Structure formats: C-alpha cells, structure tokens
Amino acid sequence: MLNSSVNNLSSFHKSNVHANALAASKDTETAKAELDWQRIQDESLKVIDGLGLNVEICGSWLWIFGANSLHETKLRDAGFKWSCGKGAWYLKPPNKKSRVYHKPWKIEKIRDKYGSTVVRV
C-alpha cells in the first residue's frame, strides 16, 4: 500500500512538473505572440503614415477613423479590414476572433469596456 501511494505521489509530482513547463511555454508563446503583434502594428502604421487618419487603440485592436475611398488601397495593403457597422477600418491581433456570431457592439461600448487611446491623428 505504501509503495502505491509513493508511485501516485511520484506521478503527481511529474504531472506538476509537466504542468509548470507547459505554463512556462505558454508564457513564452504569449510573449512571442505579443511581440509579433507589436511588429504587425508597427509595420501597418508605417504603411499608412502621413495619411492624416485618426488611429485609435481599443483594447488590443487598432481602429482607423476618417478614412475615405482614396485611403482604401493603402489600408488594405497594411492589413486593415472594413467594419461597415462602425464605419471604420480595424486591425486585430491574429489570435483574436471577431464576434461574428454575436450582436455587433457599437464602438462606444467597445471603448467603455476596453478603453481607448488615440495614438496618431
């Protein structure tokens, strides 16, 4: 009986070590994803630099207001997508899903929930 409880303890310890290693690798993956997202944002903002657009960060998404049809090609080239309901262009992190299956949120609700920072005008 004592032997089996030692084996169970050993198995528990091994699974804890594995769980800790998995958590550390997830932290590394998260850090890598954040660095990738920063790189994507920087590259996208360089493409649209000098167009005189309002760029706003709401949560982790970038929103572009004040664009017209003359800006469309540059925005698409930079990876932005059009949100018809909000009348704005957006860029989201690659690991984020759009809320397609839910009722769309108004931009005011997004700002209230995630905060908003104007980064460039």
pLDDT in tens, 5-39: 333 333 333 444 444 444 455 688 888 888 899 99
The β-bridge partners of 38 are none
Sign for the CA dihedral angle at 71, 103, 59, 22 comes to: negative
Q: Which domain holds residue 72?
A: 2-120
Element (H, E) at 60: none
Are 50 and 27 within 8 A, CB to CB?
Answer: no
Domain count along the chain: 1
Higher pLDDT, 97 or 106: 106
pLDDT score for 121: 57
pLDDT digits (tens, 9 = 90+) for 44-101: 989 898 888 889 999 889 999 989 889 999 999 999 999 988 999 999 998 877 666 7
